[in-house]
Amino acid sequence: MPSRLLIFASGICGAAGVALAAVAAHGGFSNVSDAATFLLAHAPAFLAIGLIGFNAPLRWAAALLCAGVALFSCDLAVRDLTDDRLFAMAAPAGGFMMMLGWIGIAVAAFLPRRLIG
């Protein structure tokens, strides 16, 4: 069964990525450009996971990816646009969450078929 929430997250990541890419192109913000890249790279992953349907292992991995990319990208954008940060260690925490999410997806490939649909 498709996940509307992940399909929604895909659309938001894609739109935010394009918007931040435009901001970076016109303002020369390198952190904003990196944030756009991460958002645009993860948008298709959320769409794919959302469309194929999934159960708990992939749901947790996708949740980690979503939270991680949001935290990481927001912190990078805030750094460029306000000369401040979201909070201490926000980008590293987001990056770690993304890594765990991708590892979760990799592990799900080896779970018994009945667990992954």
* pLDDT confidence of residue 116: 47
Q: What pLDDT, in 10s, does the model give residues 44-98?
A: 999 998 888 667 788 889 989 999 999 999 999 999 989 899 999 999 999 999 9
Structure tokens at 5: 């929430």
Q: DSSP strand E in 1-117: where?
A: none
Q: Are 9 and 70 in contact (CB under 8 A)?
A: no
Question: To the nearest 10°, the Cα dihedral for 23, 27, 28, 30?
Answer: -40
Q: What pLDDT, in 10s, does the model give residues 92-103?
A: 999 999 999 999
Domain ranges of the chain: 4-116
* pLDDT confidence of residue 101: 95
Q: What is the pTM of this model?
A: 0.85
Q: Are 117 and 54 in contact (CB under 8 A)?
A: yes
Establish how many alpha carbons lie within 13 A of residue 93's alpha carbon, considering only the half-sphere containing its beta carbon: 11
- Of 7-21, 26-40, 67-81, 98-112, the poorest mean pLDDT is in 98-112
